[in-house]
Amino acid sequence: MSLGVSEAAATLLASVDAVAAREPLTKSWPDLDLATAYAIQDESLRKRRVRGETLIGLKLGLTSRAKQLRMGIDSPLLAWLTDAMVLPAGVPVPLGGLIHPRAEPEIVFVMGRRLSGPGVTAATALAAVERVHAGVEIIDSRFEDYKFTLPDAVADNGSSALFGLGPVGVRPERLDLSLEACLLEVDGQVVDTATGAAVQGHPGEALALAANALATRGLAIEPGWIILTGGMTDAVPLAPGSRVAAHFSNLGSVTLSA
């Protein structure tokens, strides 16, 4: 027996609250399709808003080859960000509230203007951006062993948990984001590197993809929204006592302590 949309959303939020992984929805709901998965995601946003959370933007996931290969899924996803997901600078990662967190470096946009598809290109998308920041996202899939299909991950709001932004905000026209480089360090050792080109060739392409995908659901990207464009490298597990730092060539650094 498969769950309905509202029950599935409630079950996934219960996994967040209980800090407990569960089996993928598709185990008991093998024909869960993407449209229904996005309906579950929207319903979990509605439930979060009822609890008092505020919608502050969205994230793309699985926009780089590194991430797609790791998860075995070759198409990007969108998910919602709320104010409860912001990790302020200097605050340790609250590991006790997370199931099996992983950290990944991302290029992040803060929107100046509304961006509404269809037909958005990277150039028109970037023209709507106010500032670019360095970011680190902490993902925490609600599914056992991070094993899921694309509809599972969509329903689970793209494994979203927390994210931190760097203090440096740069106007998009001042950078070539395809060349923006990132070194990912764990406990002082470089474990991975990438440039912005890892994200759909250019993070502006990811932003355009998000605007055009939202348009098919009758939605637009709103002024002031924060947009995480997707992990540039594979994500690294966040172990107790560890320190993860993402150093960018122009955007500064973000450091998280677990």
* Binds 48: which of Mg ion, ligand OOG, none (CB < 5-8 Å by kind): none
Separation in Å, CA 213 to CA 51, 144, 157 = 27, 28, 15
Place of tokens 């998308």: 125
What does the per-residue mask of binding to Mg ion show for 150-189, with x meaning CB under 5 A? ----------------------------------------
Residue closer to ligand OOG, measured from CB, 62 or 197: 62
CA-based nearest residue to 196, from 96, 256, 122, 118 = 122
Query: Are 191 and 24 within 8 A, CB to CB?
Result: no
Report in angstroms how near the CB of residue 216 gets to ligand OOG at its nearest: 20
Least distance (Å) between residue 1 CB and ligand OOG:
26
Q: For residues 76 and 119, which CB has a smaller minimum distance to ligand OOG in the complex?
A: 76
Q: Least distance (Å) from Mg ion to the CB of residue 50?
A: 25
Binding mask 223-242 for Mg ion (x = CB under 5 A): --------x-----------
Q: Which stretch binds Mg ion (CB under 5 A): 38-46, 78-86, 132-140, 202-210?
A: 132-140
CB of 135 to Mg ion, least distance (A): 9
Paired sense of beta strands 77-82 and 102-111, if any: unpaired
- Greatest distance between any 2 Cα atoms in the chain: 54
Asked if 227 contacts 108 with a C-beta cutoff of 8 angstroms, the reply is: yes
Residue placing its CB nearer to ligand OOG in the complex, 66 or 115: 66
Site for Mg ion in 49-88 (CB under 5 A): none
Contact between residue 238 and residue 256 where contact means Cβ atoms under 8 Å apart: yes
Rounded CA separation 183/192 (Å): 6
At residue 110, what are phi and psi to the nearest 5 degrees? -110, 125
> Least distance from C-beta 106 to Mg ion, angstroms?
6
Residue with tokens 């793209």: 158
- Residues forming the site for ligand OOG (CB under 6 A): 59, 61-62, 67, 71, 104, 137, 139, 141, 153, 158-159, 230-231
Question: Token match 């406990």: residue?
Answer: 187
Q: Which is nearer to Mg ion, 76 or 231 (CB)?
A: 231
Size of the site for Mg ion (CB under 5 A): 2
> With 0-12 CB in 10 A as exposed, 13-18 as middle and 19+ as buried, what is 35?
exposed
Least gap, CB of 116 to ligand OOG (angstroms): 23
**41 vs 141 by CB, closer to ligand OOG:** 141
> Which structure tokens are listed for 115?
């961006």
Q: Which residues bind Mg ion (CB under 5 A)?
A: 137, 231
